[in-house]
Amino acid sequence: MSLSAMAGSRQKLSSVLGRAVSPWRAEGVSGRGLALGGSGGHLVRPRTGPSVVQTYSTATVSSTSPAEDHSQARPFSDIPSPPSVPFFGNLFHLWREGLLSKDKIKKNHILMFSNMFNQYGPIFRWKMLNVEMVCIKDPVAVQELFKKEGKYPARIDIKPWRRYREISGKATGVFLSDGKEWQKTRTIMARPMLRPKHVSTYVRNLDMVSSDMSERLRVLQARADGIEVPDISDELFKWALESICTILFNERMGYLQDNIPQNAQDFIQAMHTIFLTTNALLVPDADVHRFLRTKPWRQSMEAWDTVFRVGEQVMDRQLQEALEREERGEEDEDQPNFLAFISSTGRLSKDEIYSNTIELMGAAIDTTSTTLLWTLYELSRRPELQDRLHQEVTQVIGQDKVMTWDDLKDLHLLKAVIKESLRMYPVAPAISRVLQEDTVIMGYKLPAKTCVAAQVYAMGRDPHLFPDPDQFKPERWLRTGEAHDDINPYSSLPFGFGPRSCIGRRVAEVELQLFLAKMSQQFVVSQVEPEEVSSVAQPILMPETPLHLRFVDRK
């Protein structure tokens, strides 16, 4: 995933969102439901009627006409807010709470926002210098926000990433583009990334990647005297990169071998650096860091150089090989090549192809792998749940069988496990939209160009929305059983919603399902030493300390 000066308020808003929103939210098209792809009918389906809306707020979105809403709504200034001082806004609040250091921000800003919801209610204003953002965690208000996002939904700008594009002359991909340009690119990329007909063709190759990863886990642990798989997070990064490259290029890249190419290791490390420096560059503003040439600025720019250098080298080789295969008549239509497909449309320049493909490569490393890491952590603490997963996978798929798209449809408990992991540990703690018109939300008037952030993490940990929110309970997502919860679909949006939802959603779901099914067939995962692990925003939600996991072979 790679992810240019924007005018007006979007440019000004970028410095504050680092406390509330992950810098990566891939774009896509909205699906019929938010249940994981390929559901066989046993997972909770989203419902949109008012009879199923759960909300505890006293000021909900009005159902009357817009004119009546505005005539009865309270002014923007009445929205609750932490103590503020002229010009600096809530910076004083951060200073008073000791949260202005880089480490404090990434560790505590999620809890800070959750605490402010407890203090001020399900909507509050947050001001930093001359920028204001409205934070919400009421599902009804979130639904209204997406209803008002317009034909070309706009999100908060990630200024350091856009500044790199301006300086280097690189094209903007689907993540950073807006308006008609964004719509054109999203339409082209949606077909191979979101349509089930196309995604189903990736299963065979991804199943082989998962099989190879299972064998690698076995070998690595044996080398470590059976104690644990060393550097499990780094191994999952390699698995994620191998998986997405298999889809993008229809070719195995060899990233699960002992000695992976140096350029692959450079790419992985560069993406880590980009994520790790983003929060720092948003405080107080990316342009300040650029002017002073701070260390985070230099590190970020060098990392982007590496990402594009490596990505373009890989794609140049792949495009040349695709051309040669086409000339020899060796293209396999049953195994579509994403890169070849978007190139064949003739609607994207070479630079745009580079940017969009690099975005997908980068996204897979830290996002899919981090979700898998959190899921393995929770499973390692619940052997009885692993036994139930093993039973389901064995019953649906059997042993030593290549999994198919149809097999995945019947793995209901496994999908519920993934949904529960995403509820507790969403990759992006929040989702932002910049209002296209004056809007009334929760009884307050919000003018056009206001940035509104739906706090996904806070909703997922809210006891009014999810009973026992700090308990890992996959059963809440199943339609049957005593533990089933009546869940409002807008209370858990790990992939976003609407036209700018995650374009890699279906692919990520399939990758996670295949890996966890394979793992459940072959291993019992456990912690080397039982421990509670906290999360930090870097800016995606990561474990604060390394995980030490052991994979015990069921055979």
Tokens 């001359």 locate to 130
By the 10 Å C-beta count (0-12 exposed, 13-18 middle, 19+ buried), 481 is classed as exposed
Tell me whether residue 454 is in a domain.
yes
Count of domains for the chain:
1
Tell me whether residue 3 is in a domain.
no
Dihedral sign of CA atoms 339, 342, 348, 349 in order: positive
What distance in Å separates the CA atoms of residue 393 and residue 413, rounded to the nearest whole number? 9
Question: Which residue in 287, 293, 296 sits closest to 12, CA to CA?
Answer: 287
User: Distance between alpha carbon 515 and the CA centroid of its chain, in Å?
Assistant: 18
Q: Would residue 316 be called left, alpha or beta, if left means φ above 0 and alpha means ψ between -120 and 50 degrees?
A: alpha
Alpha helix stretches (DSSP H) within 176-283 = 179-194, 196-199, 203-223, 232-249, 262-281
pLDDT tens across the length of the chain (555 residues): 333 333 333 333 333 323 333 322 233 333 322 333 333 334 443 333 332 233 344 333 333 334 446 788 999 999 999 888 877 777 777 777 665 555 555 556 677 788 889 889 999 998 877 678 999 999 999 999 999 888 999 888 889 999 999 999 999 999 889 999 999 999 999 989 999 989 999 999 999 999 999 999 999 999 999 899 999 999 999 999 999 999 998 888 889 999 888 988 899 899 989 988 988 898 778 999 999 999 999 999 999 999 999 999 988 988 888 778 778 877 666 566 788 889 888 999 999 999 999 988 887 788 899 999 999 999 999 999 999 999 999 999 987 788 999 999 999 999 999 999 999 999 988 999 999 999 999 999 999 999 999 999 999 999 999 999 999 999 999 987 666 668 899 999 999 999 999 999 999 999 999 999 999 999 999 999 999 998 888 778 889 899 999 999 987
pLDDT of residue 74: 95
* Cβ 64 vs Cβ 501: under 8 Å: no
Tell me whether residue 2 is in a domain.
no
Tell me whether residue 502 is annotated as binding: yes
Structural domain including 445 reads 8-20+41-553
What distance in Å separates the CA atoms of residue 427 and residue 155, rounded to the nearest whole number? 17
Tell me whether residue 29 is in a domain.
no
Packing angle of the helix pair 412-424, 369-380 (nearest 10 deg) = 100
3-state helix, strand, coil in the chain (%, to 5): 55, 10, 40
Indicate the helix (H) or strand (E) that contains 195: none
Question: Which residue in 352, 393, 422, 432 sits closest to 516, CA to CA?
Answer: 393
Q: Who's near 436: CB < 8 A, 6+ residues apart?
A: 148, 149, 150, 152, 154, 448
Tell me whether residue 27 is in a domain.
no
pLDDT of residue 108: 60
Phi, psi of 127 (to 5 degrees): -120, 130
pLDDT of residue 524: 96
Q: Who's near 19: CB < 8 A, 6+ residues apart?
A: 105, 109, 112, 113, 126, 279, 282
SS3 390: helix
What distance in Å separates the CA atoms of residue 317 and residue 403, rounded to the nearest whole number? 30
296-319: buried (b, 16+ CB within 10 Å) or exposed (e) per residue?
bbebbbebbebbbebbbebbeebb
Task: Please report, for the domain that includes residue 282, its CATH number.
Answer: 1.10.630.10
The 3-class SS string of 327-340 reads: HHCCCCCCCCCHHH
Q: Is the peptide bond before 539 cis (omega within 30 degrees of 0)?
A: yes
DSSP letter string over 450-470?
-EEEE-HHHHHT-TTTSSSTT
Tell me whether residue 30 is in a domain.
no
Residues in a beta bridge with 433:
452
Tell me whether residue 464 is in a domain.
yes
Tell me whether residue 318 is in a domain.
yes
pLDDT of residue 333: 61
What distance in Å separates the CA atoms of residue 490 and residue 50, rounded to the nearest whole number? 12
